[in-house]
Structure 1
């Protein structure tokens, strides 16, 4: 974008706003960096659409605009009178950042590297609003602001979002008295929680046909979501279950809340338990490693970080600015955590990484909050877990599914989890092996796709992996940018017998995830992501 005649001072303003990747007050720029943004500079950068500015009390709030992010990928003039060496250094630094760091990061743009470093596409915001997720996905896919993005490329980033038709079907099935739906939402794409203006409309004048107090949808990581009902007594029972688990946050302590409260971990394990036990809930300002650590350090009281596996990787890759004596532990739910990720977290922070196993249908099933039994967990108080033909069954007095009578999912007070696992007859510890349908036959030999996936996910350079059966064993892999398909195939061959090795390897820039941060395992969604 030559011809805009930016001065060295104006270029410096763009660099600082890029580094901040947020809205910053002019007074903060002055106090923190000694950078004074004068009216002619502000007006010029605003007129060029490089900077968005608005009046905020006696000062102005500034933020790098879309065209500003694009401009940062072109050469800037840092020539300073009397300081040629400093100007040359800044010029070299910008070129290195653009030409070398950006390429190695796997990010497509500087906007993604800075503004969305920790929240790229679906994994970026598992608990964010749909609007924020679309914005994040667009920024990750578009070559430049305003560029066309194929809906086919966007679809995997929103694989778990139901269509209008699916929502209408669910409403007809539930026949609610009223429907509360968002009319508009506010807040930046990096915010964990956003302000929502809701609209309430009548739907049915029928009295409630069941005692359910909460209706939830399963995460949909393996297929369409199921409609699940929880009664008030069921929710109270789960909250009391939490109070009897050794290692949960205690009264007067804090929970740094990362999971969405739409889903069972955030709703019951975070919100309801916190209100009942007198635990303060503290969501960070943004979904970034630095913001999470800032929330931990904000008070002197002990803090437990509650999140999903995505958040573990986020913190494992973030270097704390100093000691964090307030950090008591991190507790995660959602899916199995690889040993490499778990070790990276504990090595960095020196606190326990606790594990929870649960389902939307019943809530928390088992825990290992001190990380002593990994990968096994101990059944939660009041919960019984059995193994039947390799499948885990969980005690569940009432059918949790609304409008569904499927004896293969629930019968006679037992929920059939469809998770493969074993129960130790001596200790009662439960080890989850993965989904029951992960067993496949290759040339007459049984292969456990969970084993293959764990092997691939543990390889150096692999960020995340999903292994499915798609006319053969197929591995979808998100690498750190330096891993090639040839190298990956060689590493797998060193670790797995020939009949277990994936027939097809697909490297993805970003793995699709559900709103809870789980890796999507739907074959069509994975195919779309790969294409």
Structure 2
């Protein structure tokens, strides 16, 4: 037996169970139990608006009934292209009630990205913000299998329109679309027929980039969702003392589980504020007094540096976790000094449906004395994390290798990509692509990324995608994109570019070229023009040399 099978971290679980059963067969049953437990309690808070669990159930029933009447069938995909608004949760639950799969799409995605995601997922319904339809989706939808577009607005479900987020925003009606709330209203009062969902059915597709740089739809199953929601409730203390605040974007796996799913399970109110804007978030903290949140350390740093920040903004919190971007010991100390609260570390991927390792609630993560790295926690309950070499063999504790995880949170595979599934999830164990080690007590430390992925403010950027966009510019001969340290984003995108003979272009023009074609977190923040990119004798570009430039 391998030392990892012996699970040396079990002694660190404290009063939390080392093994426990998944309580519900599917996420819809989990949601229904929450409604039954507290039907008149608040499910969602959005600025000055509230939605009770009973109201949420009526809204999702109406939407599900309408979808089925329109031809939506079990197994169909409904794509959600929204910010952190109540409509996101409504659409997700309605998709489950109709027997379907929700596809989460980053609202920063532009035409090229949205086209790929809709085509790859085979979505037949798109729920999107009105302005995103006008700016992006109207040019995309005709070339996809989407046959119903339901549009909505961030102005819905509130009466006090915040000028910092909604200045100049008006309602828009576009030809070929249907207003979401009007569509629900036409079917409100109807109850969709019972649906049978199995633990291994897909609850939602969340897209990630892999070794080839092509986005892959991770198939997060209902079992994955329920299990990780339980981990948040039982081990992270999410929602047990009050409301959950949605700092992370809901389209991201952290928001889907650490905000939406756990709020359904507990049940606890979920507080949403459209998108992350530091001053708006701080004001919402004072207004709603949430008790739990999880987000990237870069987001928390932005809150600490926002004008008017005081320790009182975080006074109501009893549990705060960070994931999506590495925390340095200095950042952890700074947060504690500024807020009086301990930020706990967690680590997971889209393919692990959020956490695979978590710092036990109430205790800080240790710091590795050699590297100075802060631990990302110990394996979650029912989870075995291994450190392996390139041949897939377990390495001794303390040695550096690839982090591999297996457990109830690991996805079934990638949508429509059996070869990628076999390569990245051999035997059902996820090869993370991250390099790290485990100490004798079971604490996991991340040393570096095996792949060339850039992690900017918790968002993952694949260099090849940026390079492909740069290659579309007529002046560009070759390019190489790398991640470089950034105080605010943790890591940011930099491009090294060589030009075609006789061509002329400025770095600013190349940045603008990318900004017009990519999500905001992807385009390079700096471009350096060089005569030749460093290469191996076989012509492979040496990104590692550029990182050290």
Q: Report the TM-score when normalising by structure 1.
A: 0.49
Larger Rg over CA atoms: 1
